[in-house]
Amino acid sequence: MLKKTALVLIAATIVFFGGYKILQINRSHTTDALLPNSSQQIIAIFDTSSNRISRVTDSTLHYTLSWVNDLEQSLPKEMLQSLIKKKEPLFINLQIWHKELIGKLAKEVATNILNGDYDKKLISLLELLAKSTKPVYLSFNGEMEVPVNKYPWQYQPCMQYIRSFRRIALACKKYSPTVKVVWGCAGYPGVEEYWPGNDYVDLAFINMSLFPEIKNDPYPPYSSVTEMMRRKIFRMRFINKPVLLMGASSFGRETLKEEWITKLNSILLSDKTIYRTPTEPLVTDSIDANKRRDNNLKVGVYDPMLLLVAQPKVTVEHIFTDIESVDNGFFKKNFDSVIARQHDVIVTMEPWKDGKIEKDSAILTHVLNGVYDKTWTRLYQQISNVQQTVYLRWGHEMEIPVNRYAWQNQDPVTYIKAFRYFATFQKTKAANIKIVWGPAGDRGSVEWWPGEEVVDYISIAIYGIPDKNINDYTKQQSFGAILFNKLHRMRFAHKPIFITEFGVKGPEAYQKKWLEEAAIAINKYPQIKGINYFNYADTPKAWGDADTPDWSITVATFNSFTNLLNNLPK
């Protein structure tokens, strides 16, 4: 267990860095640089086991070690040996500025790591650090999750980063076994997607900065310093390791007020059910796409014009409803029609009342205050005790940082509390009801995860054109590529997957080809238990001035797709 007065951190943040010249290194340099870095401080520690924050007294010496080539002889060994002999703890940022890469962002750096290009030099450094009599902590490739072009491992595939991190971490454990590996990040939305796993990390840290990570950030700004700290800490709830709160030039030890720590600890204690870390082992590898799917795949449609509901493979229909429709009986009429066709039902409950107040930002608070309890009672009564299974999805696509729905751009903790309130509203849940948590599966979606005890299925949405910035149908992403990324984001939430929305626009020949590839991709993933095609045009007002995409397909194209679902991999 770390002692607050004995933290020794050599944070080796491997930075294969191009356009940003922090140390003004240029092509004329032929020797590595080792310079003081006084802007970093360890100001506090968050214990994920007790959900408490404690202040840290940091006497660490902070240095930046910059590599300009992959040559072992360029290491400033004498200077490093001198620092290691000092009594103060030591923190080293290791940046790799290869002389051939200076002035441009080298996106192939993760590949270079995996190819072993830097192994010899790294091993030499690790063997040197192994001689230290002080605890040593190493961190690699920080702020990887921030979507900017500051470091070459940003804007890179998550698994590429994870594999390169693991290679370096394994080298640390082999050549310097006393070194503790630290995973460092900015704490930006989506950070958990880059988590390399408990077996490769001893500690984590998040940067405390008063400045936004990127300009024109689509996510709402923090309302206060304590809000910034709370949100960043909340994103660490899936990590079963101590988390260091690292200061920056804008946020030093003197900035952290004791009342902030007291307030944050009070919040963490009151919401401990939500902030707690998982008890089961975390899934941190890429999705296993080599297992055989079973034959019980549910096939459904959202089909308001009733063009596909009679097809033989269809066993599920999707209904979207809201508070007003439940109260005025419109929902029950639609629901009973589906039940009469002897189909299971996906019910997406949109928690807003009508068009006049649908953008009410207090909608989640209203839910928690019981404003809509009568509606929830009526809804559960209407969908209970039927023979068909009802997949009840509430407050979907909450993680997308837009204002299409009133429950978007809201605090994740408030959303989670509201979801749990709704999911457990019926004290004894009817056997035919399955609670569905329905993110789009976009960046940072697992931050809104409400907990496995209140969720039966996870739903995601897959559309070739995800937003209004893509006008050319030929630029649509493949189903398989989108699916892999979204399943990776769900790796901390161990529930079966139901793709409750997916669609493709374009000429019929293009739609057929896209769906053929989709069938192949779906067949690879055994965790997918259901799919539901969106056979209609999207809501026009959601797309602004852009053309509203129409995902409708013909009966022939739909049947061609569903027939391919039977061709399971051997």
In order, the DSSP letters of 124-167 are HHHHHHTT-SS-EEEE-STTTTS-SSSSTTTTS-HHHHHHHHHH
Query: Residue 551 to residues 303, 397, 502: CA-CA distances in angstroms?
Result: 11, 18, 8
Query: Residue 486 to residues 234, 441, 489, 521, 568: CA-CA distances in angstroms?
Result: 21, 5, 5, 13, 22
Q: Give the pLDDT score at 248.
A: 85
C-alpha to C-alpha distance for 407 and 421, rounded to whole angstroms: 15
**Predicted confidence (pLDDT) at residue 186 exceeds the cutoff of 70:** yes
Sequence length of the chain is 570
| Distant-in-sequence, close-in-space partners of 401: CB < 8 Å, separation ≥ 6 | 189, 218, 219, 220, 408, 409
**Predicted confidence (pLDDT) at residue 541 exceeds the cutoff of 80:** no
> Could you tell me the pLDDT band of residue 349, with boundaries at 50, 70 and 90?
very high
- For the beta sheet containing 203-207, the strands, ordered from the edge strand earlier in sequence to the opposite edge, are 52-55, 42-47, 243-246, 203-207, 179-185, 136-139
For residues 338-356, average pLDDT:
89
Element counts in the chain: helices (H) and strands (E): 15, 18
> Could you tell me the pLDDT band of residue 341, with boundaries at 50, 70 and 90?
very high
> Could you tell me the pLDDT band of residue 318, with boundaries at 50, 70 and 90?
very high
Q: Give the pLDDT score at 15.
A: 44
pLDDT digits (tens, 9 = 90+) for 405-427: 999 999 999 999 999 999 999 98
Map residue 530 onto helix, strand or coil.
Answer: strand
Q: Indicate the pairing of strand 61-67 with strand 33-36.
A: antiparallel
**Predicted confidence (pLDDT) at residue 351 exceeds the cutoff of 70:** yes
Fold of 298-564: TIM Barrel (3.20.20)
For residues 166-190, average pLDDT:
94
Q: Give the pLDDT score at 24.
A: 42
C-alpha to C-alpha distance for 433 and 568, rounded to whole angstroms: 29
Enter the DSSP assignment of 479. Answer: H
pLDDT digits (tens, 9 = 90+) for 498-522: 999 999 999 999 999 999 999 999 9
User: pTM for this structure?
Assistant: 0.91
Q: Give the pLDDT score at 92.
A: 79
C-alpha to C-alpha distance for 449 and 408, rounded to whole angstroms: 14
C-alpha to C-alpha distance for 285 and 262, rounded to whole angstroms: 37
pLDDT digits (tens, 9 = 90+) for 392-403: 999 999 999 988
Average pLDDT, the chain: 86
Percent of the chain with pLDDT strictly greater than 90:
57
Q: Give the pLDDT score at 26.
A: 42
pLDDT digits (tens, 9 = 90+) for 219-269: 988 889 999 999 999 999 988 899 999 988 888 888 999 999 999 999 999
- Of the candidates 200, 257, 204, the one whose C-alpha atom is nearest the C-alpha of residue 46 is 204
Pairwise pLDDT comparison (209 vs 343), residue with the higher score: 343
Ranges 150-154, 446-450, 520-524: which has the least confidence? 150-154
CATH dotted code for 7-275: 3.20.20
C-alpha to C-alpha distance for 282 and 266, rounded to whole angstroms: 27
For residues 561-567, average pLDDT:
88
For residues 470-485, average pLDDT:
85
> Could you tell me the pLDDT band of residue 529, with boundaries at 50, 70 and 90?
very high
**Predicted confidence (pLDDT) at residue 29 exceeds the cutoff of 70:** no
Pairwise pLDDT comparison (196 vs 30), residue with the higher score: 196
Domain boundaries, given as residue ranges, for the chain:
7-275, 298-564
Q: Give the pLDDT score at 275.
A: 80
pLDDT digits (tens, 9 = 90+) for 59-74: 888 888 877 778 899 9
For residues 450-462, average pLDDT:
96
pLDDT digits (tens, 9 = 90+) for 263-280: 999 999 999 888 876 665
Q: Give the pLDDT score at 23.
A: 38
Pairwise pLDDT comparison (371 vs 62), residue with the higher score: 371
* Helix locations, 214-350, DSSP H: 225-234, 258-270, 272-275, 323-328, 330-340
For residues 323-338, average pLDDT:
96
